[in-house]
Amino acid sequence: MSTALFDLSDQYEQMLQRGIGLSGEDRQFFIEGRVNDLKTQLPFSPKRILDFGCGTGEASAYLAKVFPKADVVGVDTALPALAFAERHYGSQRVSFQAVPDLTGEGEFDLCYVNGVFHHIPPADRLEAVRYVFRALAPGGNFALFENNPWNPGTRMVMKRIPFDHDAIVLTAPEVRRLVRQGGFTADRPARFLFYFPNMLRFLRPAETRLVHLPLGAQYYVLARKGAANSQVSN
């Protein structure tokens, strides 16, 4: 969610594609894969969704499409990205604002986060989790997606993306510990996605049986704010 990341917003898509193009796919393919899998894991359909680190807004728009009864609020620290997102994706159900401007607490049923935490300095990550915790209603779900450092292809992709050069990646066990420290219940195993590139797409139907094998290009931890979780651990 670095401001510098999107100060170069005109070049962002080109820089990102330089990396993920190795898979033979574009950014929308990965957005759809993440959100579609997440939908199968949610215990209820959310009415208000927070897209934390929304960037230029593509995922916010897709979340609104997949959850047609939900309002989506995208937040980021980068004002140029938010302006772009508002111009291209803002609507009656999709809005964008700066991170500090989200002042309400307990308003959201779901928080979606993708590829943000490896850009947050480790010392600041717990406060980011607590920000999400405060924003969610009791029983709300926190879906934290990250690049899988155990996948060699992921490492190769990140090396090709200029704005990932300073990234400090997190493993799935690290994410589970982090969200628990921030007050969440995380009793499900992480789910791993995106095993096969486009040239091996005929194998993709098997991916639904591989989600707990820690070799997919990305993974996510789905955590929950329990109704009794009023205290956040230190």
Instruction: Give the tokens for residue 174.
Output: 């690290």
pLDDT of residue 2: 40
pLDDT of residue 151: 87
Write the pLDDT tens digit of every residue in 132-184.
999 999 999 999 999 999 988 777 777 766 666 788 899 999 999 999 999 99
Task: Map residue 196 onto helix, strand or coil.
Answer: coil
pLDDT of residue 20: 56
pLDDT of residue 25: 76
pLDDT of residue 169: 92
Domain ranges of the chain: 3-98+113-224
| Partners of residue 193 on adjacent β-strands | 218
pLDDT of residue 38: 98
pLDDT of residue 163: 60
pLDDT of residue 171: 96
What's the rounded Cα separation, in Å, for the pair 142 and 130?
11
Q: What residues in the chain have per-residue pLDDT under 70?
A: 1-23, 160-164, 228-234
Q: How many CA atoms lie within 13 A of 107 on its CB side?
A: 13
pLDDT of residue 230: 40
Task: Using alpha carbons, list the distances in angstroms from residue 172 to 145, 150, 161.
Answer: 9, 10, 22
pLDDT of residue 141: 98
Which H/E stretch holds residue 204?
A: none
Q: How many CA atoms lie within 13 A of 4 on its CB side?
A: 8
Residues 6+ apart with CB under 8 A from 196: 203, 204, 207
Write the pLDDT tens digit of every residue in 64-73.
999 999 999 9
Residues 6+ apart with CB under 8 A from 167: 118, 119, 147, 158
What's the rounded Cα separation, in Å, for the pair 103 and 110?
17
What's the rounded Cα separation, in Å, for the pair 149 and 120?
16
- CATH number listed for the domain at residues 3-98+113-224: 3.40.50.150
Q: Any idea what the Cα angle at residue 184 is, between residues 183 and 188, rounded to 5°?
A: 150
Residue 182 contacts residue 117 (beta carbons within 8 Å): no
Task: Map residue 174 onto helix, strand or coil.
Answer: helix
Helix, strand, coil percentages (3-state) for the chain, rounded to 5, are 45, 20, 35
pLDDT of residue 103: 86
